[in-house]
Amino acid sequence: MDFFKFAQGQSLPPGSLFLIPTPIGNLADITIRALYILQQVDGIACEDKRHSGSLLSSYGISKPLFAIHEHNEITASAHVIKKLQKGERWAYISDAGTPGISDPGAILANEVKKANFPVIPLPGANAITTTISGAGDFLKSTAGQFQFLGFLPNKATQRDESIRHALSSNVASFFYEAPHRIEGTIKAIANLIADDQRVLVAKELTKIYESITIIKGSELGSWINQVTSWQGEFVIGIEGRPKKEKASELDELTLKWISELEDTIGHKDLSEIISRVTSMPKKDAYKALLELRK
């Protein structure tokens, strides 16, 4: 089957920048649309010319390459904009995954938009969405909600503060971690986590030794001792803590006043007083009193 027939109807406006995800490990994870557009564009901006040249060669694609990385993204964007001004079509690829997701590409996209040229993102490989897809019921306690923290700070004190924030969050938290830092980060989590809270460790996604492990806080220390190698690319998840229902919307001092007055003032009058003192709408104050008397 000619799979490219599905992509040939794609709109490829002249003067456009295409943000194209590339595989995070498995070369088969490139999309048909991505391959088609990479074949059609006039040039490809990339994070690392050697890495991208090797990747594109695997697909039989040869195009002019121009390096745009975290150290030159603003100044190098001008080169791409000049090409777009001539009506050329350009793509941007980072070393692996989706541009702009803890990878260069966001600044380039912003500069191109400021110059009033179209920026067209493509869906594709991404370590975060891959991890969440394989996380099972890890997000169940927070109804599927999560936050992405990118890479944690380098300094241990700032890293630990980010971990504390994630551990107390009402949504699941995910972040990337590098091989040379992963052991220290997992040990820091083990020192701070509650026994009943869970941690997810995803390693080498889409590769031969891919694994997604979910561990209770009470078992994290013993799990660490069994790890024989910390090599590889990691995604870490920290389970969110469900929100606790408030016993009342009224603060402690207001509740004390209510306790003293409720036997001498009628429900309606008391709700009006609460409304004036707390700025709570009368109907909400009335409902709050009803809840207290149940």
Most confident range, picked from 160-164, 250-254, 279-283: 160-164
- For residues 294 and 285, give the distance between their C-alpha atoms in angstroms, rounded to a whole number: 15
Q: What would the pLDDT profile of 140-163 be if each residue is shown by its tens digit?
A: 988 899 999 999 999 999 999 999
CA distances from 53 to 28, 83, 94, 172 (A): 17, 20, 12, 37
Fold topology of 128-238: 3.30.950
CATH 3.40.1010.10 for domain 3-125, yes or no, is yes
Q: Which residue has the higher pLDDT, 76 or 9?
A: 76
Q: Where are the domains of the chain?
A: 3-125, 128-238, 252-292
Q: How large is the average pLDDT for residues 188-202?
A: 96
Q: Which amino acid is at 193?
A: I
DSSP string, the chain: --GGGGTTT----TT-EEE--B-SS-GGGS-HHHHHHHHHSSEEEES-HHHHHHHHHHTT----EEE--TTTHHHHHHHHHHHHHTT--EEEE-SSB-TTSSSTTHHHHHHHHHTT--EEE-----HHHHHHHT-TTTTGGGTT-EEEEEEPPSSHHHHHHHHHHHHH-SSEEEEEE-HHHHHHHHHHHHHH--TT-EEEEEESTTSTT-EEEEEEHHHHHHHHHH-----S-EEEEEPPPPPPPPS-SS-HHHHHHHHHHTTTS-HHHHHHHHHHHH---HHHHHHHHHHHT-
Output the pLDDT for position 249.
61
Model pTM score: 0.80
Judge whether residue 248 has pLDDT over 60: no
Judge whether residue 190 has pLDDT over 60: yes
Judge whether residue 267 has pLDDT over 90: no
Q: Which residue has the higher pLDDT, 288 or 234?
A: 234
Q: Which residue has the higher pLDDT, 188 or 263?
A: 188
Q: Which residue has the higher pLDDT, 124 or 1?
A: 124
261: confidence class by pLDDT, cuts 50, 70, 90: confident
Which of 157-161, 180-184, 250-254 has the least mean pLDDT? 250-254
148-155 long-range Cβ contacts below 8 angstroms, 24+ apart: 148/101, 148/173, 148/174, 148/175, 149/173, 149/174, 149/175, 150/102, 150/175, 150/176, 151/102, 151/175, 151/176, 151/177, 151/178, 152/177, 152/185, 154/181
Terminal-to-terminal C-alpha distance of the chain = 68
Degrees (nearest 5) of the Cα angle 269, 274, 275?
Answer: 95
Residue 116 Ramachandran class (φ > 0 left, ψ -120 to 50 alpha, else beta): left
Output the pLDDT for position 11.
86
Output the pLDDT for position 247.
47
- For residues 166 and 57, give the distance between their C-alpha atoms in angstroms, rounded to a whole number: 41
Q: Which amino acid is at 221?
A: G
Q: What percent of the chain has pLDDT over 70?
A: 96
Q: What would the pLDDT profile of 54-72 be if each residue is shown by its tens digit?
A: 999 999 999 999 999 999 9
293: confidence class by pLDDT, cuts 50, 70, 90: low
53: confidence class by pLDDT, cuts 50, 70, 90: very high
φ, ψ of residue 202 to 5 degrees: the values are -105, 130
270: confidence class by pLDDT, cuts 50, 70, 90: confident
Output the pLDDT for position 214.
97
Average per-residue pLDDT for the chain: 91
279: confidence class by pLDDT, cuts 50, 70, 90: confident
- For residues 109 and 120, give the distance between their C-alpha atoms in angstroms, rounded to a whole number: 9
Output the pLDDT for position 289.
73
Output the pLDDT for position 262.
74
178: confidence class by pLDDT, cuts 50, 70, 90: very high
